[in-house]
Amino acid sequence: MDRLLLTVTTWVHLLAAVVWMGRIFFILYVALPVAGKTLDQPGKIMGPLSKRFVPLANISILLVIVTGIIMSIVSHDFTAGSRLSGPRSQSLVIKILLVIIMTGIHFYRGLLLTPKIARLTSKGGHSDKLQRLSLNLVKINFLLGVTVLFLTSMLYAYKE
């Protein structure tokens, strides 16, 4: 039963990570470049895209965290007798820390930064610096996500 639970949980975990990272990839390398070249105001397309993508990202983040916890428990990665000195354990700990940082960046952008940009824009203010900060945070999240994917491959390569 543990194998079946671990298999299904791992599949959901990977699927959620693909949706989360795929969203970031799409925004950075498809939507923004196309909007920048074809629209007078590229920001106008990002609002509707974000409204569509943010709930998917939120669900993906929740699933990544919940399934990650389940996988760690079922596979006995963090038991009383487990060692945190090997490459597998170190990769897992770093992966968890990076996912926490990515989650913080995601919710900071969504709950604080984006509404502030919208308020400034609606009042006719300049939000260029905040928009640049928001874009840089998306880029940071993408780099962290790629690192998390690499660490995930290490978890499988260093099965103990």
Token pair in block for residue 141: 């999240």
What's the rounded Cα separation, in Å, for the pair 77 and 75? 6
User: What is the pLDDT confidence band of residue 157, given thresholds at 50, 70 and 90?
Assistant: confident
pLDDT of residue 79: 55
Would you say 13 and 63 are in contact if contact means Cβ atoms under 8 Å apart? yes
Please tell me the total count of domains within the chain: 1
What's the rounded Cα separation, in Å, for the pair 61 and 53? 12
Does the pLDDT of residue 81 top 60, yes or no? Answer: no
pLDDT of residue 136: 95
Taking the CA of residue 82 as centre, how many other CA atoms within 13 Å lie in the half-sphere pointing to its CB? 16
Does the pLDDT of residue 146 top 90, yes or no? Answer: yes
Taking the CA of residue 17 as centre, how many other CA atoms within 13 Å lie in the half-sphere pointing to its CB? 22
pLDDT digit string (tens) for 97-125? Answer: 999 999 999 999 999 998 998 888 888 87
Does the pLDDT of residue 78 top 60, yes or no? Answer: no
pLDDT digit string (tens) for 8-46? Answer: 999 999 999 999 999 999 999 998 898 888 877 766 777
Parent domain of 30:
2-157
What's the rounded Cα separation, in Å, for the pair 41 and 53? 20
Q: Whole-number mean pLDDT of the chain?
A: 87
Would you say 11 and 70 are in contact if contact means Cβ atoms under 8 Å apart? no
Burial (CB count <10 Å: 0-12, 13-18, 19+), residue 5: middle
What's the rounded Cα separation, in Å, for the pair 143 and 138? 9
Closest residue by Cα to residue 46 from 113, 91, 92: 113
